[in-house]
Structure 1
């Protein structure tokens, strides 16, 4: 039986303009967009109607699963809590980040993330979740066991994105020791001697494993058609390396040169929405809004604060003359979807999935009033 939903009297945010009108949904798909309001259907009261947000990089599931050092929460409960916060932030498609590779700096044991992926699949099958969940494998290439962890996902069709990371001191995000010292020595309470030894071990691991592990993982993804992301690129050499690997997504570049070069090479440059909301990076790197004003910011990610993904586009549209609201919304919907090959969503257009969010925003933090995934109300 055909099911229909009419959302009327809305400010509809299309890819290049905002129109006042109605959206007709039929059997989970956008059937019509009209610039008229007949008084029929569900009255949006002039609120914005935007595409469901597409989140490519969030560590939030990990925080629910391991809320304290050494604590592991029930996987299904952690996934449901994560899903609830994600969907009520307007995110209808989320790439759950699972960490590959563990060492003394932390991480999860072999099999843990495979079990988490299985729990996500079970939750989807049991209709426990409201957002559409896919998998992003965050591969710490400088660890000795990353390939063992990665091999557990060899035949998993839910893996749609893989990022290549190296957090060793002197590399990428931590080119200078000031931030690395703050993040590791102070946080971990290490003595000077212990910190020096810790740094040397991390650098030795990176020198030994980073390159061969990057090569192996990138080759596997190319063979399987999985999108690959670089992470924390800092130099033009890093960008050239990414081009060689066929990288589609440049996550969190740490220099203006790397961001410009990545964008110029056709990669989507991703930065954190919390960076936009706070006006700066939490790790002391470049400000995302500076990249937006330069025209080289393509995608935003909520990273560690889900609601920031809805808040940040409005801030960009408010504060930067060159960024319209449709352009800012595309950074959290159409562009991330295209980057990873999800061509059935991310825009309000006929024939696409009816992933929609009703948002009221006069000023400040936007209010998410309703969320639909494939025409089904989920919040």
Structure 2
């Protein structure tokens, strides 16, 4: 992507319904049609209003809600920070690895944070992450009937015992097609996750079923804006979701360059959901758009105003803010004087409109804090997740009263709570 060639209209200015109609996404596969797994998505004539404005459908199911996502690290995201955002939904994930879940699983940091949010009256989403492409469990997926799978399911049961009935949504999987070895991203992956899903469904059935208060989703699909990311395995994933009545829908993670590409995710999954199913977007961002601009020179106006070498690159200026956080005004100027960043300042509002206009969004959650992993080992090739969150707590120094620095999306998030 060349610098400054993406206009605001191309990036953000099209309405959600227009994007969904125009996006170049495939129709359901012949295989899916033949197996009777497609349905027509609910159509919307405009923004979600009425009860959807409160993020709840008449039957109590979420409808168009927006929450905060902390991924694996809730450090610093407490009740005060959530209250400042008027946030009613919170999402995180837990790595399903023994080292992360030794002892009392309720003390694992993500689970503990979500249980605390639940205790404060907030709605919660927990994603179960199975990191077989990295970390201590790197290696092949456990196969049905194996001792390895038996041990894993015992670990799953310990987590389920702690959270079923206390989290509102449980997502089976985090990013399976990124967290599985490349050579197993085929039916091997499908068999593993289908086995997990049936186990979770059976557990919930023994502990209140759908009346437990915990809905089940399969998640989450990545890279659906790329034809290479839509494979026989993703098609089988969607068929399984469609034909399994205990599943409320599917999760997607559109980390993209534009709203048009995010629409491709939605257009892929919606025709393959049942009429009674919805989608989650527990992670979404323009991080791939940010990444394309990291090597741009800093804005000349910003360089002049703050006596910065005009030859410094954007990634270097962000590194300066990580090393010595900026005053809030300086960070605001960095955003407003950086044309491509300023042009996308309404991204959160526009993306949520596109999601809500489908009438099929259950909950979307957006990054809350700049967590430690976003800032560590910063360099030219680092993916700039640090530009996403609502709080700019690692690039902006705290205010006089200790309040965390804020990013450009903060006020939009609050407004979207009131107007959803």
Q: Whose relative contact order is higher, 1 or 2, with alpha carbons under 8 Å and at least 6 apart?
A: 2
